[in-house]
A and B are shown apart, each in its own frame.
Chain A
Amino acid sequence: MKKFLLILLAIFTVGLLAACTTGEDAGEEEPAEETDQKDDTTEEEANEEAVTEGEKVLLLNNGIEPTSFDPSIGFDQVSWDPLNNLMEGLTRLDQDSKAGPGVAESWDISDDGLTYTFHLREDANWSNGDPVVAEDFVFAWKHMLNPETASPAAFLAYFIEGAESYNNEEGSSDDVAVTAVDEKTLEVVLTAPTGFFLDVLTNPAFFPVNHQVAQDNSEWHAEADSFVANGPFLLESWDHNVELVIAKNPEYWDAAAVKLDKVHFAMVNDTNTQYQMFESGELDTATIPPEMSDQLIDGENVFIGPYGGLEFYRFNLTEEPFQNKKIRQAFAYATNRDEIAQYVVKNGVEPAYGFISPGFTTPSGEDFRDVNGDLVPYDPELAKQLLAEGMEEEGYDELPEITLTYSTSDSNKAVAEAMQDMFIQNLDVEVTLENQEWGVFAEAQQNLELQFSRSSFINDYNDPVNFLESFITDSYMNRTGFSSAAYDELIANGRAETDPEARYNYLFEAEKLLAEEMIAMPIRYYNTVVLEAEGVSGILRHPVGYFDLKYADKQ
């Protein structure tokens, strides 16, 4: 018996020792990580002391680890929100969310609208002291377009002559019309005049890359040590999956405008947790957990702003009964989007009666949405009438079965159920609801296997054409089976017309045609809702683009 106890004790001790040594081993495998963490804690302590001495440290949450800080690869908000503050493109969105000078101090546009000549700032430098030169842009953009890079953002650069054919391996990198005329002059030739090209350039995909650093080390963007920044902040430390710290970049040409000393990005992916951290002062901004929306949305510390994007439902024109325009219209007009926005989605979102969200300014300074008005009204009477007419046109005595599909999520489900209810009430039609896991859903929608399905769109650049061009014939984003020569022509003109007024007129027409054909029904516009701690100010949250901390301040 004593022997047994001894053995048990021995096992326990060995187990404990093993546990401890594994822990230590784990530490040894990544000494850098460990020291990083230690540094962080000491820094944090130092920060806390320094805060009282006036060092300004903003505590933000990035949700998850950024995909990549290679501007060509990190095609998502979690990468580009921080990156937008580490880097700067030729143009940068200003306080009015318009494309203003960035690394380029000024530019000339040829009379045919095809050739852009950018003059780079003499004092634009990288955080390692190198000057930002035209070659950095040439290098970065060709890197993005290289098919080997497999950049998910590459299609944004197809406005440039030769870009598409290089990306799909028909052409070579030499044919891409981006040239460094001299150190500080960059020339870009477009395939067609593009009125919003300067806006496109604010997108992080078009950020420069320090070509000397990148040629020596192609993984320069993977760690804080090797990262070179040219924006208002530089990358101070990056503890993967844990925390990211950016600090004021003294080499930035406009460093005098930057008020914050440091910004910490935590990676907390739980809505409730990040809100609780905000409550206890561990974060300076937070989003509102859906279940607390009613309680918090009217608070004084809430920022609500437009966000260029639309939630909508696609009709599949290749499946009955949605080949019929009137039936499509009937379903759209029967959906009370006011109610969905106010009682289902909540969080201060706007119901959508058109496709283009508010926040796009026309050449005459008005809002696109105001000018083009409500195109898809809520009108149950008209809906009923249209349904009857449509059924007669198709010779239906009874409507074929309809399945409404959404990707699995609580909020999608709530909206779908509200719609189902409205169709019963207003059209006396009972649709079947079906949810699918995202990957399955996305593939089925792409292959036109779904009859009536949920979608969303987030703008990549600040122009209405970004959304509208999704529906041109055979576009990868079409996903409805819609094809109209008239629509294709409107979009072609809406991209290439050099006179801004005339160009917008094409876009107004295109949106009207989309509403008339009703190949997709709008539900609601996206918005940005953020809780901000007292004393936090100056964070620019653009309707299209990524947030900017250049002018942010914390008291």
Chain B
Amino acid sequence: MLQYILKRFLISMVTLWIIVTITFILMVSIPGSPFNDERASNETVQANLEAHYNLDDPYHVQYLLYLKSVATLDFGPSIKQPNQTVNDLLGRGFPISFELGIVTIIVAVISGIVLGIISALRHNGIVDYLAMGLAVLGISIPNFILATLLIQELAVNAKIFPVATWSSPMHMVLPVLALATGPMAIIARLTRSTMIEVLTQDYIKMARAKGLSPWKITIKHALRNALMPIVTIMGTLLAGILTGTFVIEQIFAIPGMGKYFVESINQRDYPVIMGTTVFYSAFLIFMLFLVDIVYGILDPRIKLHKKGGE
């Protein structure tokens, strides 16, 4: 096991290095500069700014500076918010995005699985059609439309929840609803289809024949196998949701880190681009690693390393 983890760690480091290098190449190859805004300026001012942020150095020097910043995990100050380091921005934003993400995931997974099981058990019945109709809506309505709708109806008109910002549990309800609907729908559909498949397997018929209760069959025998595909998508889903979503954070004015992914690129805020990319990649790699571990637990046939196969 330790050997496996070590191997995975080394592979991750190489992956990260490749990502940093590609990001650097992309960064320097897109035209534009962080100092091109619509305000007046002149050559001296531009030159001073470039010197201040080391942008006048040759590319290989800049590349080494970035590698150093990744190695030391210190990305330096943001260009667009010069009084704050990239670490400050991520350190403040990530916990908020994470909090929102975890609640969203819990809501989505529980409601998605429950909805999927119900549909599978009442396969082709009215409940199935209703649940899957809901799931199709959930997948096809973009979350920013749902968000605007929720704000208008539940906040502005009904005045049950606050419109936006992030300061109390009440402020969390609408963004979680808007964010959870999509993943919930995906999970529900996935659970339903695999459950239907699993429920027709011989061993389930066997269990029925033995006279086990339907509840026991569903939870103990069917669901376990039906969970595999869900675990597979979980890694990417978690990494995506936990590191924040640009649109939902923008609409609800949530001070998470989602916006840095998009805005840093628009603004050519190079240290923030590098910081967010490395952070997200490392997080994704870690999540995929966790998923692999969970596979091994869920399905004993999957072996993490050779020795365990004996």
Stretch at the interface among B35-43, B57-65, B118-126: B35-43
Known: A41-B167, A241-B255, A276-B152. A440 touches B30 (CB 8 A): yes
Stretch at the interface among A50-58, A143-151, A334-342, A528-536: A143-151
Chain B residue total in the interface (Cβ 8 A) = 63
Rounded to whole angstroms, the CA-CA distance of A164 and B259 in the bound complex is 37
Task: Find the B residue at minimum CB distance from A446.
Answer: B36
Known: A150-B51, A241-B255, A273-B151. A27 touches B163 (CB 8 A): no
Rounded to whole angstroms, the CA-CA distance of A483 and B89 in the bound complex is 45
- Nearest Cβ in chain A — how far from B146, in angstroms? 13
Interface string of B20-32 (1 = CB under 8 A from A): 0000000000111
Known: A150-B51, A266-B253. A26 touches B94 (CB 8 A): yes
Rounded to whole angstroms, the CA-CA distance of A11 and B231 in the bound complex is 13
Let me know if A154 and B253 touch, CB within 8 A.
no
Interface string of A433-466 (1 = CB under 8 A from B): 0000111101110100000000011101000001
Rounded to whole angstroms, the CA-CA distance of A267 and B51 in the bound complex is 31
Let me know if B92 and A476 touch, CB within 8 A.
no
Let me know if A276 and B44 touch, CB within 8 A.
no
Task: Find the A residue at minimum CB distance from B103.
Answer: A19
B163: A residues at CB distance < 8 A: 273, 276-277, 280, 282
Rounded to whole angstroms, the CA-CA distance of A108 and B75 in the bound complex is 49
Rounded to whole angstroms, the CA-CA distance of A66 and B151 in the bound complex is 26
* B80 lies within 8 A of chain A by Cβ: yes
Instruction: Kindly identify, within residues 228 to 251 of chain B, every residue whose CB is under 8 Å from any CB belonging to chain A.
Output: 250-251
A470: B residues at CB distance < 8 A: 40
Interface string of A48-77 (1 = CB under 8 A from B): 000000000000000001011110010110
B252: A residues at CB distance < 8 A: 273
Interface string of A404-444 (1 = CB under 8 A from B): 00000000000000000000000000000000011110111
Let me know if A443 and B36 touch, CB within 8 A.
yes
Interface string of A117-157 (1 = CB under 8 A from B): 00000000000000000000000000000011111101100
The answer, among A5, A65, A69, for a CB contact under 8 Å with B220, is A5
Known: A65-B81, A155-B42. A7 touches B33 (CB 8 A): no
Chain A residue total in the interface (Cβ 8 A) = 72
Instruction: Kindly identify, within residues 136 to 194 of chain B, every residue whose CB is under 8 Å from any CB belonging to chain A.
Output: 148, 151-152, 155-156, 159, 162-168
Let me know if A152 and B167 touch, CB within 8 A.
no
* A29 lies within 8 A of chain B by Cβ: yes
- Nearest Cβ in chain A — how far from B115, in angstroms? 19
- Nearest Cβ in chain B — how far from A398, in angstroms? 32
Instruction: Kindly identify, within residues 1 to 39 of chain A, every residue whose CB is under 8 Å from any CB belonging to chain B.
Output: 1, 4-5, 7-8, 11, 19, 22-23, 26-27, 29-30, 33, 37
Residues of B whose CB lies within 8 Å of any CB of A are 30-33, 35-49, 51-53, 80-84, 88-89, 91-95, 98-99, 102, 148, 151-152, 155-156, 159, 162-168, 220, 224, 250-253, 255, 259, 266-268, 294, 297
| Cβ contacts A to B, 23 pairs, < 8 Å | A5-B220, A23-B99, A26-B98, A33-B92, A147-B51, A149-B52, A151-B45, A154-B44, A164-B44, A168-B47, A241-B89, A242-B166, A270-B253, A276-B151, A280-B155, A437-B32, A439-B32, A439-B267, A442-B33, A443-B31, A457-B38, A476-B41, A477-B42
Nearest 3 A/B pairs, CB to CB:
A439-B32, A26-B95, A150-B52
